[in-house]
Amino acid sequence: MPDRAWAEHERAVQRLADSYAAIPQGERVRLAKRTTNLFRARAASSAPGLDVDGLDGVIEVVPDGPDGPVAEVQGMCTYETLVDATLPHGLVPYVVPQLRTITLGGAVTGLGIESTSFRLGLPHESVLDMDVFTGGGTVVTTRPGDDLFDAFPNSYGSLGYATRLRIKLAPVPPYVSLRHVRIDDADLLAKTISEIAATQEYDGVPVHGLDGVAFGPGKYVLTLAQWTGEGGATSDYAGQKVFYKSLQTCDRDRLTTYDYLWRWDTDWFWCSGAFGAQHPVLRRLWPRSKRRSDVYMRLLQLDRRYAIADRLDRRAGRPLRERVVQDVEVPVERLPEFLDWFDAEVGMRPVWLCPLVAQRPWPVYPLEPGRLYVNVGFWGTVHVGPEAVHAPRNRAIEAKVHELGGHKSLYSEAFYDRAAFDALYNTSHLAAVKHRYDPDDRLTPLYDKAVRSR
């Protein structure tokens, strides 16, 4: 079976190369990808894209190789497909981003994160080697320490696309025991996060996963996850109950490992409420199989296409909305200041909190290695009136995060001027690597992707 899977992979890579050759010289190259987890606009194009058909699977799971348990995975493989292949072996990727349809290649060229990131880093840090289809039309195998490998995270396709990745896997038992710790002070919140990250335990109990939610000023909940083989009753948050609501109503919980990995996907954290999916009556009618992030994303895209929410706001006389969909990384000691500022200036709640520690330097997203940051995620809209078209809240967030020594992910809209962007994301280094592997500039540069939406 592995030999057949490898042969099919080689044929898929050849189709990709053939589709590249069919794109006229001088035209930009992009993926012909039907789905996305990006939240920024993209310029329309009638040009054919790179054919990624057949690059969305797991080639092989090796439970006991010389590098420990590993998986050979294609770049367009979703984490849902990957977990379905590894979990029967009692294994999972080091970091499993919270949405099912995030692809492994997307998490590595972007920046994935989840509750294990406080001890295991980011998804690209468990990659042993990968094949990248470059703007020059060739496949390059690259490893940690290579210029292409090290510049790849946060490049968002401006250096090429991963076709194959070999990643480390971690053993997991069948269940996850949860403890929800409620905290009423932001300084205590930051201190508790720091102590857990340093010791990887709380009250003498190991902590394998750590994230949390800020429901409002003085209303913080940290969720401590412990892997366990101990059986017992488990909760079902893919049914009538909603996971984030449970954080405020119960102290302890138990999930299967599978359900823990996708606990946020069922309701897109809390954003499914915008579509009525949390209403008890509608939830009973909403098929269980359709309670998932990619379904909500398609509904959101319909709203954008037809401006449904804007039309309803105008009809009701409500001020124009500004979309505020961002994830930012703030040093843990500056988290209280950011949350206080965010409450006063933006006022969006709840927000997600996910601690992370980068394991080594990454030139295009210069987190300080070994330093504890907290990812703050917020996804929604704010009524701001006529100024909404100028994105005042988003621009203020960018400025505040920079002031606090933090960083902002680029999966959503960005508003930096060119000089600020170049300084924040080390684009001179990125440009040098891009010139080497994409000498004819066939791939869209990062600034054009992230800010100009090209």
Per residue in 413-449, pLDDT (tens digit) is 999 999 999 999 999 999 999 999 999 999 999 999 9
Q: How far apart are CA 402 and CA 272, in angstroms?
A: 31
400-405 LR contacts (CB < 8 Å, sep 24+): 400/338, 400/341, 400/342, 400/345, 401/328, 401/329, 401/330, 401/338, 404/330, 404/331, 404/334, 404/337, 404/338, 405/330, 405/331, 405/334
pLDDT single digits (tens) 261-300: 999 999 999 999 999 999 999 999 999 999 999 999 999 9
Position 40 pLDDT exceeds 70: no
Nearest to 150 by CA among 377, 398, 423, 437: 437
pLDDT reported for residue 246:
98
Whether 183 shows a pLDDT value over 80: the answer reads yes
CA distance 350 to 106: 26
The average pLDDT across 23-41 equals 77
Question: Within 10 Å of residue 150's Cβ, how many Cβ atoms?
Answer: 19
Q: Are 111 and 140 within 8 A, CB to CB?
A: no
Q: Which residue has the tokens 């009692």?
A: 90
CA 380 to chain centre: 16
Residue 199 has pLDDT above 60, yes or no: yes
Q: How far apart are CA 371 and CA 453, in angstroms?
A: 31
Q: From residue 340, give the alpha-carbon distance in Å to each of 26, 83, 336.
A: 49, 37, 6
Q: Are residues 248 and 381 in the same domain?
A: no
pLDDT of residue 296: 94
192, 222: one domain = yes
> Do the domain assignments include residue 302?
no
Q: What is the mean pLDDT of the chain?
A: 95
Q: Is residue 362 part of a domain?
A: yes
| Domain assignment of residue 425, yes or no | no
- What is the pLDDT confidence band of residue 110, given thresholds at 50, 70 and 90? very high
Task: List all residues 6 or more positions away from 60 whose beta carbon is below 8 Å from its beta carbon.
Answer: 2, 5, 6, 71, 72
Tens of pLDDT, residues 301-341: 888 888 888 888 888 889 999 999 999 999 999 999 999 99
Average pLDDT over residues 110-135: 97
**331 domain-assigned:** yes
Looking at the structure, tell me whether residues 44 and 111 fall in a common domain.
yes
Calpha distance 293→441 (Å, rounded): 34
Among residues 264, 288, 318, the one where a domain terminates is 264
Q: Which of 312, 236, 219, 314 is nearest to 274 (CA)?
A: 312
Domain boundary among 264, 294, 321: 264
Task: Check residue 309 and give its pLDDT.
Answer: 82
Mean pLDDT confidence for 8-26: 96
pTM of the model: 0.95
Q: Give the pLDDT mean for 86-105.
A: 97
Domain boundary among 236, 264, 292: 264
Q: Which two tokens stand for residue 98?
A: 């919270």
Closest CA to 142 of 14, 364, 152: 152
Beta-bridged to residue 177, according to DSSP, are 226, 254
Whether residue 290 lies inside any domain: the answer is no
Digit-coded pLDDT (tens) for 367-413: 999 999 999 999 999 999 999 999 999 999 999 999 999 999 999 99
- 300 inside domain: no
- 380 SS3 class: strand
453 has pLDDT over 90: no
To the nearest 10°, the Cα dihedral for 20, 21, 24, 25?
A: 100
- Give the Cα separation of 119 and 241 in Å (integer): 30
In this structure, the answer to whether residues 218 and 99 fall within a common structural domain is no
Q: Are residues 23 and 160 in the same domain?
A: yes
Task: Assess whether pLDDT exceeds 70 at residue 42.
Answer: no
Task: Give one DSSP letter per residue of 46-115, joined into a string.
Answer: -S--B--TT-SSEEEEEEEETTEEEEEEETT-BHHHHHHHHGGGTEEES---SSTT-BHHHHHHTT---T
C-beta separation of 133 from 139 below 8 A: yes
Task: CATH number of the domain at 403, please.
Answer: 3.30.70.2520
Write out pLDDT tens, residues 236-262: 999 999 999 999 999 999 999 999 999
Question: Is 383:319 a contact under the CB 8 Å cutoff?
Answer: yes
Output the CA angle 186-335-380, nearest 5 degrees: 95
Does one domain contain both 167 and 196? no
Evaluate whether residue 332 is within a structural domain.
yes
Same domain assignment for residues 38 and 123: yes
pLDDT above 70: residue 132: yes
- φ and ψ at residue 80, rounded to 5 degrees: -60, -50
Residue 33 domain flag: yes
Amino acid at 410: L
What average pLDDT does the segment 127-137 reach? 97
Predicted pLDDT at 31: 86
Number of compact structural domains in the chain: 3
Q: Are residues 155 and 234 in the same domain?
A: no
**Whether residue 168 is found in the same domain as residue 179:** no
Residue 38's pLDDT band (cuts 50, 70, 90): low
Using CA atoms, how far apart are residues 331 and 357, in angstroms rounded to an integer? Answer: 10
| 329 SS3 class | strand
The boundaries of the domain holding residue 96 are 2-172+435-450
CB atoms within 10 A of CB 356: 27
Mean pLDDT of the 175-183 span: 98
Domain co-membership, 160 together with 190: no
- The span from the CA of 447 to the CA of 146, in Å, is 23
- pLDDT given at position 308: 81
Q: Average pLDDT of 158-164?
A: 97
- Cβ-contact 228, 205 below 8 angstroms: no
Q: What is the pLDDT at residue 34?
A: 64
CATH of the domain at 129: 3.30.465.10
Q: Is the pLDDT at 95 greater than 90, yes or no?
A: yes
- Residue 43, pLDDT > 70, answer no
pLDDT at 45: 58
CA atoms within 13 A on the CB side of 138: 9
The percent of residues in the chain predicted with pLDDT above 90, rounded, is 89
253 and 203, same structural domain? Answer: yes
Would you place residue 2 in the very low, low, confident or very high pLDDT band (cuts 50, 70, 90)? Answer: confident
Q: Are residues 145 and 233 in the same domain?
A: no
Nearest to 185 by CA among 238, 158, 222: 222
Does residue 2 sit in helix, strand or coil?
A: helix
